[in-house]
């Protein structure tokens, strides 16, 4: 089945540049404030990643994030298919050890967006085959934000993987303003930078500056 354009926000996937992943542990003003500032800065995709809150708290927060994203940004929930379903999010982002993508798809339906984390070219090809809407390629560089992320694979890997698949590639892991240029020049459609943005005093201006620089590099 051709699922393209089933989700009204699917078109936004073609336009993503800076991708916000929330982190309440690192946040200075809180997750809702970070999401609000990100959307105001022009960020078109938000992933609610929460490892320390109760399901009840997560559902409440997710409902708020959905409201903030409205039709301006894609809203995905990390790992938690139940939370995504509870608030009718636009989709989920899952990892290799989370619920299998085929089962996630059955539960969520054909119109939802599913992103899958991959670490190499084989996993990337498999992700596309199994119906992922985009991949998160991880980790590009070493990172302290995710303890079990492993060693950075280097930005050159992005180019190799871009040649092998058609779905968007989101780069994640250890990306900051300085090294982000190499990530985009190697073909990433979008990038995540958690600590460099969430730990800053001005999330909005950090994201604005990432978006401007990504767009500039993409335009060549
Ligand atoms: N998944 C792979 S690496 C990572 C996640 C959530 C952490 C990225 O954080 P940072 O601070 O951008 O390196
Ligand atoms: Mg996961």
pLDDT tens digits for range 135-171: 999 999 999 999 999 999 999 999 999 999 999 999 9
Q: Say what the pLDDT of residue 6 is.
A: 72
In the predicted model, residues of the chain with pLDDT beneath 50 are none
Outline where DSSP puts E strands in 2-143.
18-21, 45-48, 74-78, 91-94, 113-118, 134-137
Q: Say what the pLDDT of residue 152 is.
A: 98
Pocket (CB within 6 angstroms of ligand 1):
21, 138-139, 143, 145-146, 149, 172-175, 192-195
**Ligand closest to the CA atom of residue 149:** 1
Does this model's pTM top 0.75? My answer is: yes
1 alpha carbon – ligand 1 mean position (Å): 33
**Closest among 22, 64, 62, 61 to 43, alpha carbons compared:** 22
User: Would you mind telling me the total number of residues written for the chain in this entry?
Assistant: 220
**Closest among 180, 169, 172 to 209, alpha carbons compared:** 180
Minimal-distance CA residue to ligand 1 atom 6: 146
220 alpha carbon – ligand 2 mean position (Å): 34
């Amino acid at each position: 089945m051709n699922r393209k354009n089933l989700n009204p926000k699917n078109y936004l996937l073609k336009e993503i540049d800076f991708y916000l992943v929330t982190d309440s542990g690192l946040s200075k003003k809180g997750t809702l404030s970070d999401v609000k500032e990100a959307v105001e800065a022009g960020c078109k995709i938000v992933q609610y990643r929460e490892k320390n809150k109760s399901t009840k708290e997560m559902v409440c927060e997710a409902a708020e994030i959905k409201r903030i994203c409205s039709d301006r940004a894609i809203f995905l929930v990390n790992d938690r298919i139940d939370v995504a379903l509870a608030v009718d999010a636009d989709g989920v982002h899952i990892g290799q050890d989370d619920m299998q993508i085929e089962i996630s798809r059955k539960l969520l339906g054909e119109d939802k967006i599913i992103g899958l984390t991959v670490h190499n070219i084989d996993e990337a090809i498999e992700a596309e085959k199994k119906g992922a809407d985009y991949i998160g390629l991880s980790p590009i560089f070493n990172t302290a934000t995710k303890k079990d992320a492993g060693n950075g694979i280097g930005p050159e890997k992005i180019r190799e993987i871009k040649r092998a698949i058609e779905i968007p590639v989101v780069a994640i892991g250890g990306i900051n303003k300085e090294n982000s240029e190499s990530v985009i020049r190697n073909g990433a459609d979008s990038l995540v930078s958690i600590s460099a943005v969430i730990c800053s005093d001005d999330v909005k201006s950090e994201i604005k500056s990432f978006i401007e620089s990504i767009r500039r590099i993409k335009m060549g």
